[in-house]
Amino acid sequence: MVDITSKSASALGRWKSGEEKVYADAADIIANLARDKNNNIIETIKVITHSMGGAFGNGFIAGLQRYISMSPIEIQRQIKITLAANFDPYQAEDFHANPDVKTQQFKHKNGWNIIGMGWLANGTEDGAEQVSVNKNDSSDHSIFSFFSNISKLVEGNYTWDNVNQKWIKQ
């Protein structure tokens, strides 16, 4: 039986937990971002979540943005959160993508897959880019069923375009 008083029982509770957790980790996250020879931050922050972690990740991003906003302005300008990739976020209809962060939602839609729970997290996260829904026969809720999507996340070096306010792959 689920304890409905638990923070993990609701999307809002998980969002708040993520927001609270970031304050314990934010300084270390920022301190460990890659820097150039002049100590300028050159690495971006990406948040990848699965299932109940979707709401937690969105709260984590909001808390991290608040933490960053209290940093010196020259540091604020260097720290970029460039992606939230939410894989089959549970209760996605109960939270919204952060408008300042590119957010992609990946989900499966297979109502027949009762054992694999492909039906479990088919809600739509408002404001998130909906990456094509995977309807293949092997889809289920497990993160392992998203490997083909994960492999398409583009790794590489990017530079920030101040004019167009976006990252450009080099």
1-28 tens-digit pLDDT = 344 446 677 889 999 999 999 989 999 9
User: What is the domain extent for residue 95?
Assistant: 12-169
* Distance in angstroms (rounded) separating the CA atoms of residues 126 and 15: 15
Is 135 inside any structural domain?
Answer: yes
Is 4 inside any structural domain?
Answer: no
Which is more confidently placed, 79 or 156?
Answer: 79
Is 3 inside any structural domain?
Answer: no
- CB-based burial of residue 132 (10 Å sphere; 0-12 exposed, 13-18 middle, 19+ buried)? exposed
Alpha-carbon radius of gyration of the chain = 17
Is 5 inside any structural domain?
Answer: no
Which is more confidently placed, 8 or 130?
Answer: 130
Question: Of 41, 21, 23, 25, which Cα lies nearest the Cα of 33?
Answer: 41
Is 2 inside any structural domain?
Answer: no
Is 1 inside any structural domain?
Answer: no
pTM of the entire predicted model: 0.78
For residue 88, the model assigns a pLDDT of 86
Average pLDDT over residues 104-128: 70
Q: How far is CA 147 from CA 46, 48, 106, 143, in A?
A: 17, 13, 11, 7
Average pLDDT over residues 160-169: 66
Q: How far is CA 28 from CA 9, 25, 41, 112, 144, in A?
A: 28, 6, 14, 44, 29
Pair type for strands 81-87 and 103-106 = parallel
Is 94 inside any structural domain?
Answer: yes
* Distance in angstroms (rounded) separating the CA atoms of residues 50 and 27: 24
**Domain count of the chain?**
1
Is 85 inside any structural domain?
Answer: yes
| H or E element, residue 30 | helix 11-31
